[in-house]
Amino acid sequence: MIATAVTAPSPLGRFARKVPVVGRVIRDVERDTDTIYYLLTIFVTAVVLAVQTWGLPALVLTAVAMVPVMFVILIILARP
């Protein structure tokens, strides 16, 4: 039997779990990791529908919103 340590969530984590939509998504991802793929599919579908509705501005705003996310990913990957 493998013993796993359960750590208490940080104050920000506790606050995020109390927000109705975000908290439910966090709990679902903790329970089943396949939920991430569903969330990715929903995000891509929303972007496609936004581009079909509003055109290039929706695509540009999506790209601008993803810049901080990519910076965080690059910083995580570059850590020694």
Give the domain ranges of the chain. 11-78
Q: pLDDT tens digits for 54-70?
A: 999 999 999 999 999 99
Cα three-residue angle 19-22-26, rounded to 5 degrees: 120
Question: Which pLDDT score is estimated for 3?
Answer: 56
> How does pLDDT run across 22-65, given as a tens digit for each residue?
888 888 888 888 888 988 999 999 999 999 999 999 999 999 99
Amino acid at 7: T
- CB 36 within 8 Å of CB 25: no
Token pair for 16: 């995020």
Residue 51 has a pLDDT of 95
The answer on pLDDT for 14 being more than 90 is no
